[in-house]
């Protein structure tokens, strides 16, 4: 049993824990398991698909709600601290995949579809490990894309998303489901602290 299977079993998760891996232009990475997507969807829909077992390779052109670089309307939001973009030079793909089905040494982020009870467990572990309260960034421009994709990668901290109406409508998240993003470097420590 890998640590992500332990995570799924311990929290009694309905969905697979999802790995996020950033792939850059000059990076060699075996993409055989991953399928490119043909139509545009929201990032929340891709997360749901990966949580249901798919291996997805997403390019900027494949999403309707997110850009890998500064968008034309960036000036509208440039003074808002909560606006987070994944504007990292040379970023080519986002890989989203079920972590129980692919053993990958390094991930950039762990994404979980969680209930409020699971959120409480994760927050309690965070406070115990890092000896400080967890500060959330919610209500950002681009919702899930900022709160769950960009924030954990760029700020290197855990964040939750209450999901926007579009995510609930198009990705069909249940009314009691939220998303949690955990930076890859924190994931193992958080999982190790889960109750037996």
Calculate the average pLDDT of the chain: 85
Q: Which two tokens stand for residue 63?
A: 């999403």
Q: Say if CB 179 and CB 113 are below 8 A apart.
A: yes
pLDDT digits (tens, 9 = 90+) for 41-86: 889 999 999 999 999 999 888 876 655 554 444 433 343 344 456 6
Q: Could you report the per-residue pLDDT of 87-141, keeping only the tens digit for each?
A: 677 888 899 999 999 877 789 999 999 999 999 999 999 999 999 999 998 875 5
User: What number of other Cβ atoms are within 10 A of residue 48's Cβ?
Assistant: 23
Global pTM reads 0.88
Beta strands in the chain (DSSP E): 18-24, 35-36, 56-58, 91-98, 109-114, 159-161, 178-183
Angle at 7 between CA 14 and CA 115, to 5 degrees: 45
- Cβ(21)–Cβ(108) under 8 Å? yes
């Amino acid at each position: 049993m890998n640590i992500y299977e332990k995570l799924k079993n311990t929290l009694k998760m309905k969905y697979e824990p999802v790995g996020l891996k950033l792939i850059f232009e000059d990076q060699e990475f075996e993409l055989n398991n991953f399928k490119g997507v043909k139509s545009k969807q929201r990032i929340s829909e891709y997360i749901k698909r990966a949580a249901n077992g798919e291996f997805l390779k997403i390019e900027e052109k494949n999403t309707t709600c997110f850009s890998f670089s500064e968008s034309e309307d960036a000036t509208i939001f440039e003074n808002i601290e909560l606006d987070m973009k994944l504007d990292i030079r040379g970023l080519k793909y986002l890989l989203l995949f079920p972590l129980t089905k692919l053993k990958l040494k390094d991930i950039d982020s762990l994404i979980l579809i969680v209930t409020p009870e699971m959120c409480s467990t994760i927050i309690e572990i965070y406070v115990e490990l890092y000896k400080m309260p967890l500060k959330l960034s919610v209500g950002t421009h681009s919702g899930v894309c900022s709160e769950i994709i960009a924030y954990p990668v760029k700020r290197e901290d855990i964040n939750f998303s209450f999901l926007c109406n579009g995510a609930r409508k198009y990705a069909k998240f249940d009314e009691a489901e939220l998303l949690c993003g955990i930076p890859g470097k924190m994931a193992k420590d958080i999982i190790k602290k889960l109750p037996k």
